Amino acid sequence: MSKIKLGFSFLLTLMLVAMFSIVASAAGNTPSYNPGVGDKSGTGVVDGKVATDTDRDNSYNTVDKSNANKTGSGVGGQDANFGNVIKSDDMVKGTDGSHGTQRTHGSYMNNTNSCASCHQTHTAAGASLLFKDGEYATCTACHDGTLGFYNVMGTGSNSAGTFGGTHDGNMSAHLANGTVKLSAAPGGNNAAVSEETSTRGGEWTEEFTCANCHAPHGSYSDRLLNEDPNGMGNTLIKDGGKKLEGTPVLDKTTLPDMKVKYAAADIEITDALGVKSTVNYVVYRFNIGDTGAPTNADYAAKGLQTGDVVLQLMKWNGTQYVIDTDPWLHEYDFDSTHTKHYWTAFYDGTKYADNYADPTYAGKYIDKVHTDSLKAGEKLGKGFLGVRADNTTYPGATALTTAVNGVTFGNMARSYVVKLDVSTPDANNVTTTNVATLWGSSAGGKGVAMSTWCASCHTDYLASSGKETGTFDHAYRHTTTSDSYTCVRCHFAHGTDVTIMRDARGLTYQNILADTTNYFPGVTGDARTAMVKDYLLDKNHLLH
């Protein structure tokens, strides 16, 4: 989860959608740690915190599981030792005492020590060398407020709600401790719940943890939102995802005019109600400097120069082709022969033999150009791949250029990108008071991007007003497909809490607590606190 601390007003706190009220009710109203789920010690966590976890603490002394990096010491506990933890603003850089920044969630150097913030080579407590036992335990060890990091547990959190559900809270939270699977998402793939199989794309049988929403190693989105939620980035568009398959690679001989549609690239999609729609993508191949070539400031930013060959994804907008800037996902899968098969790759039509050792890939196309050639001068950008025509600096560049010029079609797994308006906070640490600007509506599409990200799991809830929607349950819903009315206009990711709500007059918990003249005059102390919380309590919180 991101360590960035941004103050948001009530409307701004409506970030990172949460439609898990049904799940929270089914699994228990308080998502405190489930013994045996993520935390194999069974100690349990109350509201995300424990008095001490010395028995699981990979310390830094020479007696108890010594860890030279001092990560893990005091993390997740309430004692004074948490001051020893290496934090992003606690790395002494110079002899003068100046501080540097430890990049915990991205922007790593190739000689970084930042990996040790979460991983321990010889003393790890969990899989993937995590210093705590499980993803939830690792994330909440720092993000429970004890270290001053982004707090997802504390009452009164003004960022994205809180996992610390109490009688104050009206919980509607993602239960991110591995207790439930992605298929438990309301409006999601219900078929996967009982059958353990999916009727559409996605990773529905995967356990739900913090990492399903956030990418701990960095992402293209604000708040480290996962670029491939529920595996939908590598799921075909026809199955509800964003991956393009068999997209033709064209150049100026076959696409001389960007205002003429290449009809052979149409992809027809039929939704659950039988409504058909068409999307049209092509990959345009050109050389930097060509007349009429697409323009993208990222070409120069990535170091491409005149003459370099580029493969740029283009989308038909109804009038002409425009560049598509969704970043590509560059992962791959291994087959039984330990050969890589890339999510994003381009092909020239050659295939594996019918008797190929792994029958899953027998007779399928061979990746000719893929995202594993950086040393040969490959440059990757938002929606494109380019190659430096410099065989001296980049041995192998000539062969790679030849391969790029020979491909005829490609597959592209594409990232989800969600951006927020995070302009300079005012005196009250609020970035904006206009919910429309939260998504940068003037630029268009950013609010829809947020709802689309949410709908990677809550598939039925991406809706336009007045239209029946639902793959798994058919219903009319209010719109979530505009920048002004999105999922997060109503939902919190980490659960609602009355101390971050406003009443009908726009007053916050703190406003009402301080107004002893108009609200509950004469009531003081704990009694007043309880009365204000009861006043703000949502009486209809169980309705969805």
Segments making up each domain of the chain, as ranges:
1-26+153-236+417-501, 49-147, 243-414
φ/ψ of residue 350, rounded to 5: -75, 145
Identify whether the C-beta of residue 389 lies closer than 8 Å to the C-beta of residue 308: yes
Distance CA 286, CA 283 (A): 10
**In sequence order, which residues have a C-beta less than 8 Å from that of residue 497 and are 6 or more positions away?**
155, 156, 157, 161, 162, 164, 166, 168, 169, 170
Identify whether the C-beta of residue 12 lies closer than 8 Å to the C-beta of residue 500: no
Query: What tens-digit pLDDT sequence spans the chain (544 residues)?
Result: 333 333 333 333 333 333 333 233 233 223 333 333 333 334 343 444 555 555 555 555 555 555 555 555 666 655 555 555 555 555 445 555 555 556 678 777 666 677 877 888 877 788 888 888 888 888 888 787 766 567 777 654 445 666 755 556 554 578 788 888 888 888 887 665 555 555 567 888 888 999 999 999 888 888 889 999 999 999 998 888 899 999 999 999 999 999 999 999 999 887 656 678 899 999 999 999 999 899 999 999 999 999 999 999 999 999 999 999 999 999 999 999 999 999 999 999 999 999 999 999 999 999 999 988 989 999 999 899 999 999 999 999 999 999 999 999 999 999 999 887 666 655 555 555 455 555 554 546 778 888 899 999 988 888 887 777 777 777 878 888 887 778 877 777 887 767 777 777 778 888 999 999 999 999 999 999 989 988 887 665 443 3
Check residue 243 and report its DSSP letter.
B
Nearest to 181 by CA among 225, 142, 231: 231
Residue 264, Cβ density class (10 Å: 0-12 exposed, 13-18 middle, ≥19 buried): exposed
Identify whether the C-beta of residue 21 lies closer than 8 Å to the C-beta of residue 174: no
Distance CA 261, CA 210 (A): 42
The reported pTM is 0.77
Tokens of 255: 């696409």
Distance CA 172, CA 163 (A): 9
Identify whether the C-beta of residue 115 lies closer than 8 Å to the C-beta of residue 54: no
